[in-house]
Amino acid sequence: MNKTIQFLLVIISLNSCSNITNKNNFQDSSINYNQLNQFVRDSLPQFVLIDEKYLDIVDLWDAKPVIESTLQIISKDSKTLPFFFESLRLEIEKIQIEQIPYDLKVPQIVGRFRVYKTQILKISETQKNNLNMNLYKQNLLDLVNSYNALVNMVNIISKDIYQKK
């Protein structure tokens, strides 16, 4: 009799776990990826690009490839964005403030880089589902704005360095 009760408890708990898994799968399948794709294409601001005239200064910075990879948001399918942000997070965590080249290590760039890094960490932690899709969209917008602020300041500081030479 004792073994029968244990067997029934195991069956019930396995059934409960499968129901939870099914509920989670149901939530994920209800995400409107078309709406998110449209938001990425239509609602994100234009990306500011690093001025090619100043690449010799910016190329010294290990963070340049990571920063430039942010531009790929527009070309990515919205279903792959969580994976993209996770890989971006792993790369950005490796970069330290001390690695900024001397000419670019000014408070304006350091501060903007920290904000940019924070936005990547924040969006990589955001779970996409219909309950917080608005938060996810806002985080995307904040990330692009922080990227643009960083690159714009890099261009301004680099231009100033060139004019002093």
Domains of the chain, residue spans: 1-30, 31-164
Contact between 92 and 65 under an 8 Å Cβ cutoff? The reply is no
Alpha-carbon distances, residue 80 vs 52, 73, 77 (angstroms): 30, 10, 6
Q: Render 70-96 in DSSP notation, one character per residue.
A: GGGGTTS-GGGHHHHHHHHHHHHHH--
pLDDT at residue 25 in the model = 40
Q: What is the pLDDT of residue 93?
A: 93
pLDDT value for 87: 92
Query: One digit per residue, pLDDT tens: the chain, 165 residues?
Result: 666 666 555 577 666 655 454 444 434 445 788 888 899 989 999 999 999 998 888 888 989 999 999 999 999 888 898 899 999 999 999 998 888 999 899 999 999 999 999 999 999 887 665 557 888 899 999 999 999 999 999 999 999 988 887
pLDDT of residue 54: 86
* Burial group, residue 31, by CB count within 10 angstroms (0-12, 13-18, 19+): middle
